[in-house]
Structure 1
Amino acid sequence: MTDSTLQGHNRQTPEVSKKDIDRGDRLRVGRAVVVDRYGKWARINHWITAISLILLALTGLSLFHPSLYWLTALFGGGQITRMIHPWIGVVLFFSFLGLFIRFFRLNLPAREDAQWAARIGDVLKGNEEKLPEVGKYNAGQKFVFWAMSILIVILIVSGLGVWERYFSQYLTVEQMRVAVLVHAIAAVAIICVWIIHVYAAFWVAGTLRAMTRGNVSGGWAWRHHRKWLRALAAYGKRDDQTK
């Protein structure tokens, strides 16, 4: 994709605004267009969250059922696993909080989200041209974001309720049983959401590059997030290397 392609396309397009872009987004125009999608700190924040979630899932599953107890060997045994599990949860909560504060505005519902979701068949078939133009995040990505947000809150609240060393004295036995059940259900749900997130990252070629190198090709942005690319072209930061 070249800059002339970006400027020259004349099909009817949705209105864009500065609200469609993040402060770290930038166009780099040369022989081809490269788009900065995530800055260094956003990527570090993301990977801390991802690693915390994986560790939390492994330690939690090891305590969930006797058949999975062997997973505690990865962390030095049952006692250590039980001790570090809630602290990993605290790290996850505050790490995701950073992502939430940074990106919640871009994940608010938009008019095109319902149209995108209604054409989920075309999404799965890769018929991108039949989909509405979307901003930095499509409806599927927004679902993952808000599902993660809700489930992490449920996990931290229910987890504190069963953290016996510090909070057991504030709950009755019946309340703790409910908290354990809610915690387990939320944990299974968030693992499922995480699997969807990871699968989509590998399924859509070029997506992982955004979270490893911080940028995507102009062609990737044009195909998957055209409204976001238009907003960047109109209002975003720009490095023009053709001059």
Structure 2
Amino acid sequence: MSDPKKYTIVRYTPSQRINHWIIAISFVLLAVSGLALFHPAFFWMTNLLGGGPWTRILHPFIGVVMFVSFFAFAIRLWRFNKITKKDREWLAAMPKVLKNQSEGVPDTDRYNGGQKVLFYALIILMLGLMASGIVMWREYFSHLFSIDMVRLASLLHAFFAFLLICAIIVHVYAGIWVKGSMRAMTRGTVSPGWAWKNHRDWYRKIVRGSNAK
């Protein structure tokens, strides 16, 4: 490991990357179809899924795909996302992080405090979307609930969807902002320099040969 340019570190396995991109593609399809069904100004986007009727049919099924894929991914990464004292210190040092200052910012493990907060936020939003979506799903479930419950579910579904879109925008922006991060989900590897700069405790575990995958 004397020459960092000669090797890379595996951050995500092929199966993890496939899982992630299934979630990503499902999210895009759901965001587009959801907006198309939410307001007439966006109805033209139903053409992506074959028109209005097909959009209404496919939207909930794609939602199930995203939900199952997300939780399969979350379960695999759960043990890396337990919030520690260092994570709370990292979150407290967020102003310095945003200014790209390293002094006073604690070293992080595989994921930093911000990533872990996003992880749990996504879990809550996914659960909220699934629960409200089931109540709204006219073909199979909505007849089991009162009209007032369906209306409330519709409002909550739109609210959770809005928050999810905002969260994903932050996620994508952070991936672009931290140079080298996108490579982790396209090639599955990162450079030792990237690991040392952004997740120093995780890098130390890699060097010691710990199970960090």
Query: Scaled by the length of structure 2, what TM-score is found?
Result: 0.95
Q: Shift of the alpha carbon at 1:237?
A: 6.3
Indicate whether 1:136 and 2:83 are aligned.
no
Which residue number in structure 2 is paired with residue 204 of structure 1?
178
2:153 aligned residue: 179
Residues 73-97 of structure 1, C-alpha deviation per residue, up to 9 Å, x if partnerless? 2222111111100000000011001
Q: 2:164 aligns with which of 159, 165, 190?
A: 190
Contact 1:135 1:225 in 2 (8 A): yes
**Structure 2 match to 1:83:** 57
Runs of 4+ in 1 over 6 A off after TM superposition: none
CA positional deviation for 1:115: 1.0
Q: Are 1:231 and 2:205 matched, yes or no?
A: yes
Task: Summarize the alignment of residues 1-243 of structure 1 with structure 2, pairs less than 5 Å apart.
Answer: 3=1, 32-236=6-210
Aligned residues: 212
Which of 175-184 and 120-129 deviates more?
Answer: 120-129
Instruction: Give me the whole-angstrom Cα distance separating, in 2, the residues matched to 1:68 and 1:31.
Output: 48
Q: What percent of counterpart residues are identical?
A: 46
3-state DSSP of counterpart to 2:141: helix
Q: 1:93-143: CA deviations, max 9, x gaps?
A: 110011111001111101111111111111111113431011000011112
1:235 shift after superposition: 3.5
- Distance in 1 (CA, whole Å) between partners of 2:49 and 2:19 is 23
Task: Compute the TM-score of the two structures, normalised by the length of structure 1.
Answer: 0.84
CA distance in structure 1 between the partners assigned to 2:108 and 2:36 by the alignment: 40
Distance 1:111 1:158 in 2: 34
For 1:155 and 1:37, locate their aligned partners in 2 and report how far apart those are by CA, in whole Å.
29
- Per-residue deviation, 1:227: 0.5
Supply the distance in 2 between the matched residues of 1:121 and 1:140 (Cα, whole angstroms): 12
Distance in 2 (alpha carbons) for counterparts of 1:34 and 1:201:
18
Larger Rg: 1
- Unaligned regions of 5+ residues in structure 2, if any? none
1:236 Cα shift?
2.5
Q: For 1:123, what is the secondary structure of its paired residue?
A: helix
1:126-181 per-position Cα deviation (integer Å, ceiling 9, x unaligned): 11343101100001111221111110111011101000000012100011011111
Question: 1-side partners of 2:198 and 2:76: how far apart?
Answer: 21
